């Protein structure tokens, strides 16, 4: 670990396309280092991206625990072994409990495929089309105890086009996610963004 790099742990559940964008950005000079990638699903495709980048991986399979609390205790232990400055949810498909969220408050972020506070939850692209939204996009936010309700750090916007399908809209949003997530991680690594109380505080230049 280089001293000027923010240690990051990434949590995934699936194919890991956002993880790959982060790993590519790190390789290109992003001032962060992915110390570990942890999945709650043994077959998650994103584990291969981590292995290809030489990043340690671990599986904490939620199905092997009797309660959410037991799973999250094991997950916390796996994360904290790497002493991360930031925990990044990249397609991690588990709702996290209040104790877990409080433990990582101010250093836990998520990316959501909608322009929050619009369309929290699932199936955002179909819902945006059905609502007649003129634009859609993605939001990176600090995670708080209420799902998809934490303070938004930054957003990327795309138009909703005539005749759009959820799949076509999702593809355009995902392209923006791959740009947006590394950018925000870089801001946090440089000390330009932090959570203070319930609001996002921005610095004009890097700390130090």
Q: No. of H helices and E strands in the chain? A: 6, 9
Would strands 108-112 and 57-59 be described as parallel, antiparallel, or unpaired? unpaired
- List, in sequence order, the alpha helices (H) in 58-202: 68-80, 98-103, 124-130, 166-189
CB 191 within 8 A of CB 203: yes
Annotated catalytic residue, options 49, 62, 82, 112? 112
Q: Is the peptide bond before 117 cis (omega within 30 degrees of 0)?
A: yes
Q: What is the dihedral of CA 5, 7, 13, 19, to 10 degrees?
A: 0
Q: What is the dihedral of CA 47, 49, 53, 56, to 10 degrees?
A: -10
- Residue 103 designated active-site: no
Write out the catalytic residue numbers: 112
């Amino acid at each position: 670990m280089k001293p000027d790099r923010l240690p990051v742990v990434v949590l995934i559940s699936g194919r890991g396309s956002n993880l790959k964008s982060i790993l590519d950005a790190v390789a290109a000079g992003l001032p962060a280092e992915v110390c570990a990638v942890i999945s709650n699903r043994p077959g998650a495709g994103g584990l291969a991206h981590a292995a290809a980048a030489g990043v340690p991986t671990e599986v904490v399979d939620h199905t092997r625990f009797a309660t959410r609390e037991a799973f999250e205790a094991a997950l916390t232990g796996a994360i904290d072994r790497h002493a991360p400055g930031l925990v990044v949810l990249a397609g991690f498909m588990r709702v996290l409990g209040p104790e877990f969220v409080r433990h990582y408050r101010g250093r836990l972020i998520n990316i959501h495929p909608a322009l929050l506070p619009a369309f929290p939850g699932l199936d955002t692209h179909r819902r945006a089309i059905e609502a007649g939204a003129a634009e859609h996009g993605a939001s990176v936010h600090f995670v708080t105890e209420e799902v998809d309700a934490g303070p938004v750090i930054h957003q990327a916007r795309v138009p909703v086009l005539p005749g759009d399908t959820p799949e076509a809209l999702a593809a355009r949003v995902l392209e923006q996610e791959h740009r947006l997530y590394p950018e925000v991680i870089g801001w946090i690594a440089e000390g330009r963004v932090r959570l203070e109380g319930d609001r996002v505080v921005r610095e004009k230049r890097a700390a130090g």
